[in-house]
């Protein structure tokens, strides 16, 4: 009888100690575990966005329209691609004796850190790295884009980097509204009657983002 009681006592003492040792070992393993960017514990999402903006290009008012698609990792950083097109106001050129304007576009990779993404109003900082092209367009007495009398007098390509800051509003789970400002900086452009830095400048935009955040 005494032996049975002793055995039961040992069992009751051994298992709690063993359980605690296992728990301590598990905690140590978790503490020492390397947290990876693409581990199972990291959430993944994505979004598509429509972007509408205003800028000044070559000292003329310009409209900017584009889009972006990004993969969101862990709610706090998005990686994707985006593209934007622009056109500035038609104006008269004395040398050509015609109405002229600049039109073009650019696109590339976008990195977007997102600060405090789960609160209703937060900040993101998208940066676009890419390439683009611009044309010096002339119009022979017309301001109608459906008119065939539009000609590209000159065209060139450029490199671009455009960092920005957005204030984002979590409207609903699948929709965010972002109001932002960015600065477009390009390599020097070689274009007829156009400053080499004509495309550099601020852009103010509104983005409609749809997806899983």
194 with 93, same domain: the answer is yes
* 19 inside domain: yes
13 with 89, same domain: the answer is no
Report mean pLDDT in 10-residue bins for the chain, 213 residues. Answer: 44 43 50 49 89 96 98 95 96 89 97 95 98 92 61 95 98 96 97 95 98 93
127 with 203, same domain: the answer is yes
Amino acid 24: pLDDT: 54
Number of domains in the chain: 2
Q: What pTM did the predictor assign?
A: 0.77
Amino acid 78: pLDDT: 97
How many of the other CB atoms lie within 10 Å of CB of 99? 18
87 with 187, same domain: the answer is yes
55 with 122, same domain: the answer is yes
Which pLDDT tens digit goes with each residue over 99-132? 999 999 999 999 999 999 999 999 999 999 999 9
80 with 27, same domain: the answer is no
* 147 inside domain: yes
Which pLDDT tens digit goes with each residue over 147-168? 657 889 999 999 999 999 999 9
* 174 inside domain: yes
Amino acid 142: pLDDT: 55
The token pair at 146 is 């459906």
Range of the domain at 3: 1-33
CATH of the domain at 168: 2.40.160.20
3 with 93, same domain: the answer is no
177 with 79, same domain: the answer is yes
């Amino acid at each position: 009888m005494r032996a049975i009681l002793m055995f039961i006592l040992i069992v009751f003492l051994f298992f709690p100690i063993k359980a605690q040792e296992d728990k301590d070992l598990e905690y140590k393993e978790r503490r020492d575990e390397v947290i990876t960017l693409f581990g199972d514990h990291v959430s993944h999402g994505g979004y598509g966005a429509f972007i509408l903006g205003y800028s000044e290009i070559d000292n003329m008012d310009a409209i900017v329209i584009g889009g972006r698609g990004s993969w969101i990792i862990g709610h706090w950083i998005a990686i994707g691609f985006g593209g934007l097109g622009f056109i500035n106001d038609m104006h008269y050129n004395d040398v050509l004796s015609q109405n002229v304007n600049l039109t073009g576009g650019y696109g590339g990779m976008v990195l977007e850190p997102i600060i405090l993404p789960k609160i209703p109003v937060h900040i993101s900082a998208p940066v676009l790295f890419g390439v683009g092209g611009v044309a010096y367009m002339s119009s022979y007495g017309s301001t109608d884009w459906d008119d065939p009398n539009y000609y590209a007098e000159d065209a060139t390509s450029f490199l671009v980097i455009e960092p920005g800051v957005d204030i984002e509003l979590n409207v609903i789970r699948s929709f965010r509204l972002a109001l932002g400002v960015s600065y477009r900086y390009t390599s020097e452009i070689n274009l007829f009657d156009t400053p080499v830095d004509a495309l550099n400048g601020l852009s103010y935009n509104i983005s409609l983002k749809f997806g899983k955040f």
